Structure 1
Amino acid sequence: MCKILIVEDESSIRSFLKVSLKSNKFDVIEAEDGLKGLELARIEKPQIAVLDVMMPNMDGFQLCKKLREEFPDIGIIMLTARGQDIDKISGLESGADDYVVKPFNPAELILRVKAILRRMESNAKEVDANIIESYPFKIDNYSQKAYKNDEILDLTPKEYLLIKLLMENPGKAFSREELLNLVWGWNFFGESKIVDVNIRRLRTKIEETASRPEFIETVWGTGYRWNEREV
């Protein structure tokens, strides 16, 4: 269930928002000023925050900036006064995703919350598509970097392509010729021994003991395969 933080100093509006959101199956937490809202966000870790602009102790713009700094992925909707275009601009500049003008129809707020959740879900899927994981390794296709236990591995471009290909196909036995064609290209003129040389170098960088590899296994008479370790 999506958790939504309401930060609004007027109790009547806060109650109105809470009822509207709860009726749409959202889990709602609330605070009456910016400082309490920030404290609550740190404890509850909400997915969405709905912030009034004018509040005591810490206004909505300040709270928006703090939330964006501490929780980069949180969705933020600002509640602004009618006709105050500067509030809308300031809110977006502070890191808000959207704004709703008071007085508003609760259906509009629900639609905007759901739109932000869809964008967040889409972004999460896009990030996941760029990541390949096989404990304790991780490949980030976007940055083309490889990690072991979250520490970056110093790999050559060909070593990176080798580990990426193997991790994408755990358990598959690749022949030396397949690896040569897939990593070096069909137009590469050279011996398949270059595959063995690069595998040996790669093992020295990722294995605890290169002579007794746990991850890149030798398939005798064929080539190599990736051994995916269970966590």
Structure 2
Amino acid sequence: MYNILLIEDDDRLATVIKRGLEESGYQLTVAYDGNLGERLAFQEKYDVIITDIILPKINGLDLCKHIKQQKPEVPVLMLTALGTTDDKVEGFDAGADDYLVKPFDFRELEVRVRALAKRQQPVSRSEIGGVLLIADLVMNTHTKNVHRNGKEITLTPKEFKLLEYMMRNRDRVLSRSEISEKVWETTFDTGTNFIDVYINYLRKKIDRDYDIKLIHTKPGMGFIFREEK
């Protein structure tokens, strides 16, 4: 049985979500403000945390940042009425693992919660302290540090995850759908430019000041990570 923490100040919506997930076999704890949600998140072990963004006392973005600082392994799903690309970027930059815009179909919520809960797997010993190296770009997957030509590069959690996936799949074209599935473990609307936004973020940080470029676009196909002038 998966243990879920729901942080939602709308009593009616919280009741609907709690009842629906409990009927599907999940164990639910509900907090109606950010302060209580934060205390519960730190005190108990949860497989998934679901939080609204607009909350009393501590907003969902700050709450997510606090949780990820203390428990980075716990998946966080954000529920919000704010659905623009900028809103989603802000949520993922805060550390969210997934993002669902209100109003939503309960079946979609359940599918996303199930996918996040299944991600809770121990890290294998072979990955601890692992270092990825391509050209002069170095990523330490244990310390979460990234350097290029000896210069430290600061990345958000999602930027790091995207870069790690691309480095592990160097010299292979990665479609937008594959990136959304493997990095965010979800499927974005085909009309969104969300993946391109994050690719541009990475380019500015790891490619802009260097002659050798690492991230390249394959028109109509996706992106490829390789050394190329």
Identify the match of residue 130 of structure 1 among 126, 129, 148: 126
Paired with 1:73 and 1:25, the residues of 2 have a C-alpha distance of 22
Task: For 1:36-185, list aligned pairs within 5 A.
Answer: 36-81=36-81, 83-121=83-121, 124=122, 127-128=123-124, 130=126, 142=130
**Residue 2 (structure 1) aligns with:** 2
3-state DSSP class of the match of 2:114? Answer: helix
Deviations 1:160-184 (A, max 9, x none): xxxxxxxxxxxxxxxxxxxxxxxxx
- The higher radius of gyration belongs to 1
Paired with 1:9 and 1:46, the residues of 2 have a C-alpha distance of 19
Tell me the TM-score normalized by structure 1.
0.53
Mind listing any 5+ residue stretches in structure 2 that lack a counterpart?
A: 132-229
Query: What percent identity do the matched residue pairs reach?
Result: 35
Deviations 1:162-208 (A, max 9, x none): xxxxxxxxxxxxxxxxxxxxxxxxxxxxxxxxxxxxxxxxxxxxxxx
User: 1:119, CA displacement in angstroms?
Assistant: 2.7
User: 1:118, CA displacement in angstroms?
Assistant: 2.7
User: 1:66, CA displacement in angstroms?
Assistant: 0.5
User: 1:93, CA displacement in angstroms?
Assistant: 0.3
**Residue 26 (structure 1) aligns with:** 26
Deviations 1:34-77 (A, max 9, x none): 11100111222212100001011000001000010111110100
CA RMSD of aligned residues (A): 1.8
**Residue 12 (structure 2) aligns with:** 12
Mapped contact 2:9–2:32 kept (Cα < 8 A): yes
Paired with 1:5 and 1:107, the residues of 2 have a C-alpha distance of 18
User: 1:141, CA displacement in angstroms?
Assistant: 8.0
Cα distance change on mapping 1:23 and 1:58 into 2, 3 Å:
same
3-state DSSP class of the match of 1:120? Answer: coil
Tell me the TM-score normalized by structure 2.
0.53
3-state DSSP class of the match of 2:41? Answer: helix
Deviations 1:11-33 (A, max 9, x none): 00111110111111111001001
Q: Which consecutive aligned stretches of 4+ in structure 1 deviate over 4 angstroms post-superposition?
A: 140-143
Q: Which is further off, 80-89 or 104-113?
A: 80-89
Cα distance change on mapping 1:83 and 1:43 into 2, 3 Å:
closer
Query: Aligned AA for 1:68?
Result: K
User: 1:2, CA displacement in angstroms?
Assistant: 1.3
Query: Aligned AA for 1:38?
Result: E
3-state DSSP class of the match of 2:61? Answer: helix
Q: Tell me the matched-pair count.
A: 131
Paired with 2:119 and 2:45, the residues of 1 have a C-alpha distance of 18
Query: Aligned AA for 1:33?
Result: D
Cα distance change on mapping 1:83 and 1:68 into 2, 3 Å:
closer
Paired with 1:91 and 1:23, the residues of 2 have a C-alpha distance of 29
Paired with 1:61 and 1:76, the residues of 2 have a C-alpha distance of 11
